[in-house]
Chain A
C-alpha cells in the first residue's frame, strides 16, 4: 500500500461529502481510466503494426491495412533462413555485449554514484562536472580519436573487437548521474547508523545503501540493456567481422534487401524477434519500482 493511495482515499472521502457526491466521482474515474487505457493502447500501435506487417507479403505491406491479405509466414521463414549471419549468432553477440555492458555500468555506476553523493573528497564537484561533460560529446566527434586509440591497442582485430565495444560503453555518465541523484535523495539516517556500528565505507555502500537502491538499479538495468541492445554506432564501427555482428547491424544489412525498397515483412519479423528480450527484461525488472523503501520500515 503506497502512501499515495492513502492520500487518494482521503480525497475521495472528501468528494463523497461534497454535494455532488459519488456518481460524479465514479464517472471521473471512468473517463480517466478510458483515457489512460486509450493512451496505453496507442503505445502498442507501432509494435502491433510491426507484428501485422511481418505476416504480410511485400506488395501488401505498403498498403495501409491492419489485416494481412494474404496472411503468410513466408517473411518469418525468409528471415530465419536468409539472414547472414544467422539470427542465433546475432542474438548471441547482442546478448553478450548487452549483458556485459549492463553489468559494468551497474557495478561501476553505483559505486561511483554513491561516492559522488555521499563521500567527501577534494575535487569531487570538478570530477562530477567531468562526468557530465562526457555526455556533451557527440559520438561522431569521438569516432576518430577513439578508433585511433583502439587500433593502437590492437583491439580492432578478432575478438578484440568485442573488447573495444565494451570498453567504450562500459560506463556511462548517465548511469553515474542517475545513481548519484538517487543516493542523494535517500535519508542519511541509515548510513549514520551503519557508520556508528563501525561499518567501513564499502560495507556501508554494499550492505546498507545498495539493497535499498532497487528502483534505481532497475532503471539502470532496463535503460542500459535496452540502449546497448539497440545501439548501432559503436558496434558498427568496431565489429567488422560478420560473425561478430549484433542484431541492429544484421538488421541493417537485411534492410537493404530489394535495393532501395525496404522489404518490410521480413524486416518487421526480425524487429519483433529483437524486441522480445527487452520486453521480457522490462517486465521482470519493473516490479522493483513498487518495492522501494516501503519494505524497509524506516522510522520518520
Chain B
C-alpha cells in the first residue's frame, strides 16, 4: 500500500488537484510560500493505530501532495514496537525524514540528540507556533527550542453509562456520591473503572491539589500533605469499593469494562468512541469533563504525539515542509475532522461530537513526558499502588515514599 499509495498519490493529485487547490484557505501564507520553494522526496514514518487513522492520514497526504507536487511523500509506517525499531534506526543513522514521537519519550530523545531543532526553520518559513496549546506543545520543547510539533492530542474525560447515570457529577464529591448510590447496582462489578497508576491517577492527583514536582520542576512535591491526601483519596476509592481496576473486573481496559456494563463510569480519551461504536454498539454513554476537585480548578491530563525531524534525517527541508503542512491549520483540520483525535491547535475547528473532550485541551496538563525519567516514576507509583490494593492495606504512605524515591533519582540524573 505504501508504494502504490505513492503512485496513487501522484495520480490523484492530477485528478483532484484543481479541487484541492481551490479549497485552500488563505491562512498562513508565508509558511506555504516557503514550502513551495522546496522540492525533493520526503520519507514519513510512524505507527498506525487503526484503519480509520490510516485513511485520514492518506487523505491528508493527498491534499499535501496536491498543494506541493514537488515534494513526493513516501509513507512507511513501522510495525512492531516503535521505540525498539527506531532505536536500531537511530543507531545506524538510518532515520526517516519525518516521524512520530510520543510525548512519553520525547524528552529522552531530545536529550540524546536524536531530534533536529526546528527554530531555524520556524524563522525561515514564518510558521505560526502560537496556536499550539501549551499543554500539548511544551513536552516537545527544551531550553526554549522546539523539537517537534504536536500533531494532535487527546484529553481524559469522564465517560458514563447514560442508562445508569442520569446526571453526570461535576465535582469529585458528587462523583463519590454517584458511585455510592451505584454500588450494588444490577450487573455492575464496581461503579467506577480506574487505573492503579498515574496514567489516569495523575488527573485525580492534580484535581485534589496534589503535585509531583514543585513549581520549577527541580524537586519532588509528592510528599507534601496536600499530595499525600490526594493519593489517599484516590486509594480510598478502591478501598471503599467505589472503584476497581479493569483487570479485576475481567476487562483488558476500562473502555471494555464500560462497554460490558461491568462499570458505569470510566475515565478515558477520544479513542473510546470508535471502540464503543464497533464493539459495544448497544451501550449508551456520554462524555463529561473531569469532575472538579478540592483545587477548585478544572484540570485534566493530555496525551499527544508529535512529528519530529531526525538529527540524521537526509531530507530535512522537505521534512519541515511536510511538517508545517500537517501541523498547520489546513493539514490538521483535514487530519482531525473525522474525529481520529483532537486538534492540538486552537485555530482548528473541533471535530463533531468531541466538544467535551476538546474543552479540556485549554486547561489540560501533560500526562506524560514532562519530567526526566517519567517511565520509572510512573512504574514506582504503579507498583506501590497495586501492592497496596492487592495487600488490602490501602495506605498512601508507601506509595508516596516509593514515588518520592523515584522522582529524586530521576531528577538527580
Binding site for B on A (CB under 8 A): 58-59, 62, 82, 84-85, 140, 143-144, 147-148, 151-152, 156, 232-233, 236-237, 240-243, 245, 249, 252-253, 256-261, 263
Question: B80, A258: Cβ atoms under 8 Å?
Answer: no
Answer whether residue B50 sits at the interface, using C-beta atoms and an 8 A cutoff. yes
Binding stretch for chain A, among B138-146, B227-235, B270-278: B270-278
Interchain CB contact (< 8 A) of A260 among B1, B77, B253: B253
Beyond the given A252-B80, A253-B48, A258-B274, please list 4 additional residue pairs across the A-B interface where CB-CB is below 8 A.
A147-B92, A148-B92, A236-B80, A257-B51
Cβ–Cβ contact A260 & B80, under 8 A: no
CB-based nearest B residue for A151: B92
Closest beta carbon of chain B to A277's beta carbon, Å: 21
Q: How far is the CB of B316 from chain A (nearest CB, A)?
A: 20
Chain A: minimal CB distance from B47 (Å): 8
Write 22 A-B pairs (CB below 8 A) sorted by A numbering: A58-B278, A59-B280, A59-B281, A59-B282, A82-B51, A143-B84, A143-B88, A147-B89, A156-B92, A233-B80, A237-B85, A237-B88, A242-B1, A242-B2, A242-B76, A245-B79, A249-B79, A252-B79, A256-B50, A258-B279, A259-B275, A260-B275
Q: Considering the complex, which residues of chain B in the window 70-104 have a beta carbon less than 8 Å from any beta carbon of chain A?
A: 76-80, 84-85, 87-89, 91-92, 94
- Residue B200 lies at the interface, judged by CB distance under 8 Å to chain A: no
Q: Chain A nearest CB: distance from B252 CB in Å? A: 8
User: Is B334 interfacial (CB 8 A cutoff)?
Assistant: no
Q: Which residues of A contact B260 (CB under 8 A)?
A: 62
With the chains together, A257 CA to B50 CA distance in Å? 5
**CB-contact partner of B1 in A59, A85, A151, under 8 A:** A85
Report the minimum CB–CB distance from A263 to chain B (whole Å): 7
Bound form: Cα–Cα A143–B281 in Å: 42
B49 within 8 A of A: yes
Q: Does the CB pair A240–B88 fall under 8 Å?
A: no
Q: Across the interface, which residues of A come within 8 angstroms of B1, CB to CB?
A: 84-85, 242
**Residues of B that sit less than 8 Å from A by CB:** 1-3, 48-52, 76-80, 84-85, 87-89, 91-92, 94, 253, 255-256, 260, 271, 274-275, 278-282
Q: Are B49 and A256 in contact (CB under 8 A)?
A: yes
Report whether B88 and A258 are in contact in the complex, using a CB–CB cutoff of 8 Å.
no
Q: Total contacts A to B, CB within 8 angstroms?
A: 83
List of B residues within 8 angstroms of A257 by Cβ: 50-51
Partner of A62, one of B48, B92, B253, B279: B279
Alpha-carbon distance A140/B51, docked complex (angstroms): 29
Residues in chain A near residue B274, CB distance under 8 A: 258-259, 261
Q: What CA separation (Å) do A258 and B49 show in the bound complex?
A: 8
B84 proximity list for chain A (CB < 8 A): 140, 143, 237
Knowing A62-B260, A259-B49, A261-B275, the reply to whether A148 touches B91 (Cβ < 8 A) is yes
B278 nearest in chain A by CB position: A258
Contacting residues, chain A, for B89 (C-beta < 8 A): 147
Chain B residues closer than 8 Å to A240, beta-carbon distance: 76, 78
User: Chain A: which residue is nearest B96 at the CB level?
Assistant: A240
Residues of B within 8 A of A232 (CB): 80
Complex alpha-carbon distance, A243 and B5, angstroms: 12
Interchain nearest-CB distance for A85 vs B (Å): 6
B278 touches A261 (CB 8 A): yes
Asked if B271 contacts A259 (CB within 8 A), the reply is yes
- Contact present for B92 and A143 (CB under 8 Å): no
Q: How far is the CB of A266 from chain B (nearest CB, A)?
A: 11
Q: Tell me, in angstroms, the Cα distance from A151 to B91 when the chains sit together.
A: 10
Chain B neighbourhood of A148, CB < 8 A:
91-92
Residues of A contacting B76 in the complex (Cβ-Cβ under 8 angstroms): 240-242
- Looking at A236, A257, A260, the one whose CB has the most chain B CB atoms below 10 A away is A260
B271→A260 contact, CB < 8 A: yes
By Cβ-Cβ distance, the 3 closest A-B pairs, closest first, are: A236-B80, A147-B88, A151-B92
Measured CB to CB, the closest approach of chain A to B109, in angstroms, equals 16
Residues of B within 8 A of A85 (CB): 1
Given contacts A240-B78, A253-B48, contact A258 B87 (CB under 8 A): no
Chain B contacts of A82 at CB under 8 A? 51
Contact B279 A261 (CB under 8 A): yes
Q: Nearest chain-B residue to A252 (Cβ)?
A: B79
